[in-house]
Amino acid sequence: MTSAAPSARYLELDALRGFAVMGILLMNIVGFSMPEMAYVSPAVYGGTDPPDIIVWALSYIFVDGKMRGLFTIMFGASMMLIIERAQGNAENPATVHFSRMAWLAIFGLAHFFFLWFGDILFLYAAVGCIAYFLSGLTAEDLFRRALLIFTIGFVGYSVMFGSLLYQQYQASLPGASAAAIEEVAKLLADFGSEPAAIAGDIALHRSGFVPILLDKLHNDPFGPLTLLAYNLAETLPLMMIGMALYKNGFFTGKWSPAEYRRLGMRLTAVGTVILTTIALGLIYRKFGMLLMLNASYAWNWPSQLLMTIGYAALLIGLIQKFSATSWIRRVAAVGRAAFTNYLGTSLLMTFIFYGWGLGLYASVGRAELYLFVAAAWALMLIWSEPWLNHFRYGPLEWLWRSLARGQAQLMRNTPKKN
């Protein structure tokens, strides 16, 4: 067993990670409980009654992509911290980092195939391997290159999804060929939004563990690689921004309260105005499927980036202001055990909604889903701090660290001497 004491921690990093892992469930809950495309459009599944539309709009404007973005920039910041600590301990940072990423990829593959299709761990592991080679850049260079990659990705996705809208427009013109109309119909069917696809999805997820696993192995064996291909141009720049924000002192609380507040309010306000405008337009257009795809995978990129950084700034200000309170300590404990809380949430929610558990899949309204979110938050806040009062790591954090270092890590906290 190793006996090295755990390194000093930054409250800002731990608590931000806690807010992120709790916040990401606000969107993931739809993916756990409803057909996949319900995440994109309430018209596909989940209802368009006023409460459901209000919940969808609030999620789209204030949550969708922002909590995952916050989780991603925190990953970049944590990566820099681990590299620095490895260097300070006279360890090879590349060995430490790539061993961690290799095991994270294995955890991610297990998560995808055995629990939930929405895994991001494999994505983070793969992108983290790329990001390592950029860790020597200055904060300014990281920002510049991240924005360049992000812009290329945004333009590429806007063109790709915009072309689908153009294709639909052409098929709607008088005199459009039967082939053009059929192509658009096939396009919509391919996105899984048609009634037959929805019915099949519901039947599958109300079945047992083995049928769900076999369906992934047969129909989506390269799902993690597909997710990587689709998300690289967004995930890599976000990680790079996280690395830059660690290097310039943003994540370690070195900015003034006024700087955090000013940056947070400006970026959040701009993003909110843009996304509110888009959301109102989507409601007015009755959630047209191709419009929803553009709004979910292209048009929201700039606003999500602004609001992700804005949220981080506002939350750091909040953490610093209430740093001595018990509730911030509990959120920070959730962040210290974020790996366990993330995978534990997947286990709990798939048990609640999938057929091998309680089988509530596609039987709870969109608005009512957030009662399950509140319950999961309560569990995270209840168990994390008492556990970490007795142990150095969360259960899966300990396992990941032990595997990555090739030896069992000391788990229990050293009793304090009087």
Each residue of 133-163: pLDDT tens digit?
999 999 999 999 999 999 999 999 999 999 9
Q: Could you tell me if 320 and 12 are in contact, meaning their C-beta atoms sit under 8 angstroms apart? A: yes
Nearest Cα to Cα of residue 48 among 372, 274, 275, 282: 282
In a domain, 102, yes or no: yes
User: Which pLDDT band holds residue 413 (cuts at 50, 70, 90)?
Assistant: confident
Query: What SS3 class is residue 192?
Result: coil
Task: Kindly tell me if the per-residue pLDDT of 59 is higher than 90.
Answer: yes
Task: Kindly tell me if the per-residue pLDDT of 166 is higher than 50.
Answer: yes
State the chain's maximal CA–CA distance in angstroms.
87
The rounded distance, in Å, linking the Cα atoms of 331 and 333 is 5
In a domain, 274, yes or no: yes
Residue 234 is predicted with a pLDDT of 97
In a domain, 230, yes or no: yes
The rounded distance, in Å, linking the Cα atoms of 44 and 304 is 23
User: Which pLDDT band holds residue 1 (cuts at 50, 70, 90)?
Assistant: very low
Helices 301-321 & 223-247 angle (0-180, nearest 10): 50
pLDDT tens readout for residues 224-262: 999 999 999 999 999 999 999 999 999 988 999 999 999
Query: Which conformational region is residue 368 in: left (phi greater than 0), alpha (psi within -120 to 50 degrees), or beta?
Result: alpha
Q: If you search the block for the tokens 């930054």, which residue do you land on? A: 10
- Integer angstrom CA distances of residue 205 from 197, 226, 254, 353: 12, 21, 47, 8
Domain carrying residue 250: 11-405
Q: Give DSSP secondary structure letters for 106-141.
A: HHHHHHHHHT-TT--HHHHHHHHHHHHTTTTS-HHH
Q: In the chain, pLDDT over 90 holds for what percent of residues?
A: 88
Mean pLDDT of all residues belonging to the chain: 94
pLDDT tens readout for residues 179-189: 888 888 888 77
Per the structure, how many domains does the chain have?
Answer: 1
In a domain, 81, yes or no: yes
